[in-house]
Amino acid sequence: MPMDKQIYCRRDDEPHLRDDDLAGKVSRYIQYVALVDTTHLDVVAIGRTIILSGFVANEAEIGCIEQAAASVIGVHLVENNVTVRHH
């Protein structure tokens, strides 16, 4: 999902973070904005690409976390491999 525009902006945001720092920033933002249980969610950054994997409770959460990840400054592409966990 390519980014059209950045909607998450704070004064301390740095668009050129290292991979681990960007992944942590995205993970925190997903928890804050999407209000999704991220216990089983993995966030990896390779350059400016974010790779999401793991599972969530429902389809709506998949879209929420992808949109939240794509909104973080410094992210240019999101690869969403998250699935719904069926109990």
Domains and CATH numbers, the chain: 19-84 (3.30.300.130)
| CB-neighbour burial class of residue 39 (10 A; exposed 0-12, middle 13-18, buried 19+) | exposed
Task: Output the pLDDT for position 45.
Answer: 96
**Which pLDDT tens digit goes with each residue over 39-80?**
999 999 999 999 999 999 999 999 999 999 999 989 999 999
pTM of the model: 0.81
Using DSSP's 3-state secondary structure scheme, residue 83 falls into strand
The residue count for the chain? 87
- Which token pair is 36? 């999704």
